[in-house]
Amino acid sequence: MPLYEYELCDGNCAACSGKFTLRRPVSAPELTACPACRKPVRKLISGFNTPSIMKPLSITDAKKAGFTVLKRVNKGEYERQ
């Protein structure tokens, strides 16, 4: 069974710490809520070179979500926005 990684859409969960992995059959329906706290979750795309924090849709959304937004200014250099 593939291993899926989920994180809470918002808030925090004492049971899953806001992020958890589950082994589920491919045929299982999409998990939409944390099994422990019933808060909405989203599936993280896992892959070989996928960063743990997915690229945000927009800087504003990212800031609202509490991300620190970094702009790449040079190779290996990032500017805090």
Interaction of residue 36 with Zn ion, rule CB under 5 A: yes
The count of chain residues that interact with Zn ion, using the rule CB under 5 A, is 6
Residue number, 35 or 63, with CB nearest to Zn ion? 35
CA angle 71, 54, 76 (to 5 degrees): 35
Name which of residues 37 to 56 contact Zn ion (CB under 5 A). Answer: 37
Shortest separation between residue 60's beta carbon and Zn ion, angstroms? 27
Shortest separation between residue 13's beta carbon and Zn ion, angstroms? 3
Which phi and psi (to 5°) does residue 59 adopt?
Answer: -60, -40
Residue 6 pairs in a beta bridge with 20, 43
Shortest separation between residue 70's beta carbon and Zn ion, angstroms? 28
The Cα-based distances of 62 to 9, 32, 35, 36, 71 in angstroms read 12, 21, 26, 26, 12
Interaction of residue 16 with Zn ion, rule CB under 5 A: yes
